[in-house]
Structure 1
Amino acid sequence: MVTDAGGSYLMCDTDSMAIVSSEHGGLVPCKGGTHRLRDGNEAIKALSWKQVREIVDKFEKLNPYNKEIVPGSILNIVEELNFNPNERQRQLYGYGISAKRYALYVYDASEVKLIKVSEHGLGLYYRPKEGRDSDCEVALWIKEGWQSILNRALGVSSQEPDWFSLPVMRRIAISTPNVMAALRRLNRDQARPYNFALSPVLLNLSNIPITLLGPFEKNSEIWCTMPYIDIHTGSVHTLNPPSLLVLAQTFEMVFFQHHRHPEYKSLAPDGSPCRAESHGLLKRYPVTASAFHLIGKETERGWEQAEDVSTLLPSLVRYQENNGVPTDQLTERLRQIPLVFL
């Protein structure tokens, strides 16, 4: 309905949409838009607030509830975002990276004030500082990170958060005996079933698997110097000084990558696949089935829990085409198995 009315949207999630709109509507500069401003630049059409309200009202017919108890449309315009404390609708602005990575903000005098930020792609990391922001209803560090992204995009000078230099950690539950046995070499008392451990997010510069786990520690000041154990070899290491051919990712690196995340599900305005620098009105990505690849549907049950150690060691079986003839390796393995077991 939005596109039928000639409009566009900043983002569209499962149950929400940020529609490009203003009080009276009009054109908004945007690369790839089908409209043109007086200076010839490309633009998109912003719907008026009245048009958005009319679209919302059309969904009243789909309301399955008793109208006397639950009146109105099944959609709603979020009042705590779109209206100020004086119950007057205000103009929102948005900064979108991809469908699930976005921030909404307003101008409060000369200050850029965030009122909603997405946690997508960030919530899996353990917090580098305590606290929760009541305005955006997210962890304080996520809001501060988004503020850094937005300030850089708008050309606003600001100081980066002091925790940007910290190594990025994931909190992992001790859910397997081998992980518990490894961690008991570091701290026998703390390594108990379903207690937590910390795992630094690494850029592996070697050709061997490396997965480090350390004691669960809230004090971020000692993350670099405390001991970690490699669950593959049992050897003990620290991040600083480094003792492995790895680079521990910092939160500054994470937010830089977060900001440059391409929207893989869409095409750039020129019709090419989206890249980090792509911007403007994105296009639909056509999908053509060319070949089928058989994969195993069996997965680690721990994948359902973001804090399970199996999420650090993903394994997906991909089956090759089978012509019915066993390979030499399979033939040799079968010969080693006694017939009584076959």
Structure 2
Amino acid sequence: MAEARLKELGAIHAYMDTDSVFVPPDKAQELAEFFQPLNPYNMDIPLLKPEKKDLWFYGIASKRYALYYYENGKIKFMEDERSYKLHGLGHLTNPFPNSVEDWQAEIWQDILKLHYRLITERDIEEKYSNLYAISQLTVSTSIVLSRFKKLNERKPWKEQIKPFNFFLVSFQVIIEDDKAVKPLAPFTKDYQKIVYEPFIDYDSGEVKEGSQYFKPLSRTILHYVEHMENKFDGDIGVLKRKHIQAEGLVYIGKEANNIEDQPLDVIGAQVFVNEEEIKQKILGLTPEEARKLGVKHRSTLKRMKDRIMKDGKISLDTKEVKKLLNRILT
């Protein structure tokens, strides 16, 4: 409704949330008055009211924006509250060795300076190239704890990594044996220190070492700036809503048994399949169709079908079933 009303007034909004909308200052009061008849109270309380004025808005994508003052080439954030979002950055630990208190503000300052061409991408690379993107997580599942088995060997109990301890994780930049190396390391307050010490690879459990396995913070920042807004068409300026045509149904969400493992798998979102639909598709496969989907042996397909017919169940974690899932769902 707010978007439609602004169009009638010959204006546009910069950003909209569930309870707020960023509009040109000269349209703010008029928009608030338009919604006032919807006030559900028996007293005259403003349903919407102008709060922040004369601020610039810089938006990258949903939940990735900053409100700021810009005058004479100087960028300044609001003093009474944080006026930049940490979505996409909030998972990172403080990378600065001198413990810069508001380090996210410094990164946002550099993002805005890059926008105004006060600095270049090379400046970003030089400033952050020796710092790395590292997150802090909790050992909250037995799977994660088992990855530290080698590091725990021959250590006294008090020095071992235990359930619900913190640990540090970085983000994959190198592929080895067709798998991304995901560095895990014991917790330390000197976060950047783990880059130069042995770590555990999450997938293989092997002990590795080397800064080449860690993602430079400069790359994280530049990728952050280039993040696309998937719900709209366009790259810059006023974007247009995308027209969406549903071609299938895939279950996704946060309510999952393995949700704690998701931060370690930053390649893609967790997907929940419709098991009944998968079983019916497997039952309908011919040996030739199954072979094209990666299941080479007729006997393997027969075992799958026999189990479905007998028990009404199918294990989604076996190698052959995963092959079918990857092809059926794509």
**TM-score under structure 1 normalisation?**
0.69
Q: Which residue of 2 aligns with 1:309?
A: 261
Q: 1:120 aligned to 68, 87, 104, which one? A: 87
**Aligned AA (1:61):** P
Partners of 2:195 and 2:214 within 8 A in 1: no
| Aligned CA distance change for structure 1 residues 57 and 131 (closer, same or farther; 3 Å) | farther
| Aligned CA distance change for structure 1 residues 62 and 212 (closer, same or farther; 3 Å) | same
Are 2:131 and 1:154 equivalent residues in the alignment?
no
Q: CA deviation at 1:236?
A: 0.5
- Whose helix proportion is higher, 1 or 2? 2
Cα displacement string for residues 285-318 of structure 1 (whole angstroms, at most 9, x for unaligned residues): 11123x2245477963353xxxx33432454254
Partners of 1:228 and 1:236 within 8 A in 2: yes
CA distance in 2, matches of 1:92, 1:52: 13
- Whose strand proportion is higher, 1 or 2? 1
Counterpart of 2:18 in 1: which secondary structure?
Answer: coil
Superposition RMSD in Å: 3.2
Q: CA deviation at 1:190?
A: 4.4
Are 2:171 and 1:201 equivalent residues in the alignment?
yes
CA distance in 1, matches of 2:16, 2:253: 29
Are 2:106 and 1:107 equivalent residues in the alignment?
no
Q: Which residue of 2 aligns with 1:288?
A: 245
Unaligned runs of 5+ in 1: 22-47, 83-90, 133-139, 269-277
Counterparts of residues 5-20 of structure 1 (less than 5 Å): 5-20=9-24
Cα displacement string for residues 70-126 of structure 1 (whole angstroms, at most 9, x for unaligned residues): x52222322xx42xxxxxxxx222222223221221135552212321212111222
Partners of 1:267 and 1:282 within 8 A in 2: yes
Are 2:197 and 1:226 equivalent residues in the alignment?
yes
CA distance in 2, matches of 1:239, 1:149: 29
How many percent of aligned residue pairs carry the same amino acid? 24
Are 2:141 and 1:176 equivalent residues in the alignment?
yes
**TM-score under structure 2 normalisation?**
0.71
Aligned residues: 274
Q: Which residue of 2 aligns with 1:56?
A: 32
Counterpart of 2:168 in 1: which secondary structure?
Answer: strand
| Aligned CA distance change for structure 1 residues 299 and 105 (closer, same or farther; 3 Å) | closer
CA distance in 2, matches of 1:263, 1:179: 33
Cα displacement string for residues 141-164 of structure 1 (whole angstroms, at most 9, x for unaligned residues): 221111111111112249659555
Unaligned runs of 5+ in 2: 288-297, 314-330
Q: Which residue of 2 aligns with 1:216?
A: 187
Are 2:55 and 1:92 equivalent residues in the alignment?
yes
Are 2:31 and 1:72 equivalent residues in the alignment?
no
CA distance in 2, matches of 1:296, 1:156: 41
